[in-house]
Structure 1
Amino acid sequence: MTTTLLDSTNGIVEFTYIGEGPPVLLLKGGHCSRDTDLSHSSLVYEGFSLLTISRPGYDYTEPSTGRTPDEFADTIVEVLDYLSLDRVHVIAVSAAGPSGIALASKYPERVDRLVLEAALTGSWDRKSRKKAMMLFGPAEKMVTGSLKFMLKLFPDLVMKQLLADMTTEDVEDYLDNLSANDRRFIYDMLSTSQPGRGFILDLDHDVKNLHELNVPVLGMYSQKDRSVPYTNALLLKSTVPDCEIYEVNADSHLIWIGKDAHDVWNKRLEFLKQS
């Protein structure tokens, strides 16, 4: 896949654009690199084109392109203008929630529909923020390198430790009940993760314009998500008039795997294909 670096007004921004058909902008979640695929790449086989923009601090996108979600929305619009894309559907995943919300609220004329997938709609809680600052601050490269090294040697141990922050279920039971394909999904997700400077920037993001959303919104959330609690879905539903909440029958933050994964895929397609 060809990666493009655009010298925007506020710095270098990295993106890829593939496929033909109605454009979908994908904003990946925290820790996700250009190589992380949570199944969204298959949208190109469903008749969509897929624009993936790396958020500030991730891959080659410079932090200066948007230290706040509102600032990054301006950079995204520069990319859309560069590609001559008048309007796009938007999918914002997990920590990218504030960026997707900022874009749709600040530039509603550029967004057809917004899908929030296990996405933040408010601020980080203090405990999670403090823990993440310790792990992914100055020691980020060492921590990430060590985790990837250990993942190769002791995959179940590393997955269990990291999944404990993603599920309200007993983590050993959760891991034991995963299919081989689901285990591979998690392994690939972790092995391609690269928070860089991006995740630390994410921790300061806040959502100030949720009430300004006036584009159709689909929120997909799990009741058993520990990292992005279901309260984010309730806040979204109570604040945004044109909003549908789809409660995913998933046992963790990872709504893209498990027994309901196919329904998640179909629900997303159904929403994106509405006129």
Structure 2
Amino acid sequence: MASTLFDTSKGLVEYSYIGDGPVLLLLKGGHCTRDTDLSHNSLVYEGYSLLTISRPGYDCTEVSTGRTPEEFANTIIEVLDHLKIDQVTVIAISAAGPTGVALAANHHQRVNKLIMEAALLSPWDNKTLTQARFLFGRGEKAVWKGIRTLLKVSPNLAIKQVMSSLTTDPVEDYLNKLSPNDRRFIYDMLWSSQSGKGFLLDITHNAANMSQIKAPVLGMYTQKDRSVDYSNAVLLQSTVPNCEIYEVKSDSHLIWIGENAANVWRKRLDFITQ
């Protein structure tokens, strides 16, 4: 998908903009790059435009465009103004949760709906922070090169190592239930991943001012997510005035694959169109 660079008042932002119809703004999660598609690109075939904005530190979006979710939310408004887009439905995935919240809470007139997909709201725990700084600091390029090498040599082992941190099920049981298409999804996701400088920013983010959100919110979470605990769903529902939680019957953080994936797709479309 072709990307465009826009020079905002705070630095360069990379985005792609495809399709016709009402605009959906996609904010991808941690480690996701311009090439990572968690199935959302297919939304253009449902009659929507898809605006995907790379968050600070990812792809060619500069860190200066927003070290905090609130700062980057302001930068996103510059992009919307540049593209002459009045309102968007925001889809915030995983570590993009705080940015989705900041956009909806601080720019009511620009967000008509907010969808939080396995989206983090609470602070990262100390163990995760320590591991993230070690793995995805200066050595992050080597880490991802190693993962891609392992994907070539032993894809099952690479998938097993990563999924052990994304599911509460015994990882062998989880892997045994994966379809060939599910395995391809995970393979492609890992192959396209790169943390850049973005993930070290992500781990400093918290979702603030959730009670100020006026737009309807849909949160989609699973009880079996090891990386984003279901307590995030409870927090979202208890804080946001107009919020619906859809409990996904997924076996991992990756709610876009598995037997319930079609229900996730339908639930998202129903919420967007209602």
What's the counterpart of residue 9 of structure 1? 9
What's the counterpart of residue 237 of structure 1? 237
The RMSD of aligned alpha carbons is: 0.6
Question: Which deviates more, 119-128 or 41-50?
Answer: 119-128
In the superposition, the TM-score normalised over structure 2's length comes to 0.99
Contact 2:55-2:198 within 8 A present in 1 as well: yes
- Counterpart amino acid of residue 191 in structure 1: W
The within-5 A match list for 1:185-196 is 185-196=185-196
Give the whole-Å Cα distance in 2 for the aligned partners of 1:93 and 1:139.
Answer: 25
What's the counterpart of residue 251 of structure 1? 251
What's the counterpart of residue 19 of structure 2? 19
How high is the sequence identity, in percent, across the aligned residues? 62
What's the counterpart of residue 174 of structure 2? 174
What's the counterpart of residue 153 of structure 2? 153
- Counterpart amino acid of residue 143 in structure 1: V
Runs ≥4 in structure 1, deviation > 3 angstroms?
none
Contact 2:98-2:121 within 8 A present in 1 as well: yes
- Counterpart amino acid of residue 273 in structure 2: K
How far the C-alpha of 1:2 sits from its partner, in A, is: 2.1
Question: Which deviates more, 120-129 or 178-187?
Answer: 120-129
Contact 1:121-1:210 within 8 A present in 2 as well: no
Q: Secondary structure at the match of 2:114?
A: strand
- Counterpart amino acid of residue 142 in structure 2: M
For structure 2, which runs of at least 5 residues remain unmatched after alignment?
A: none
Q: Secondary structure at the match of 1:99?
A: helix
How far the C-alpha of 1:50 sits from its partner, in A, is: 0.2
Q: Secondary structure at the match of 1:219?
A: strand
What's the counterpart of residue 54 of structure 2? 54
Are 2:85 and 1:85 equivalent residues in the alignment?
Answer: yes
Across the two proteins, how many residue pairs are aligned to each other? Answer: 274
How far the C-alpha of 1:218 sits from its partner, in A, is: 0.1
- Counterpart amino acid of residue 83 in structure 2: L
Contact 2:101-2:208 within 8 A present in 1 as well: no
Give the whole-Å Cα distance in 1 for the aligned partners of 2:220 and 2:35.
Answer: 23
Are 2:182 and 1:207 equivalent residues in the alignment?
Answer: no
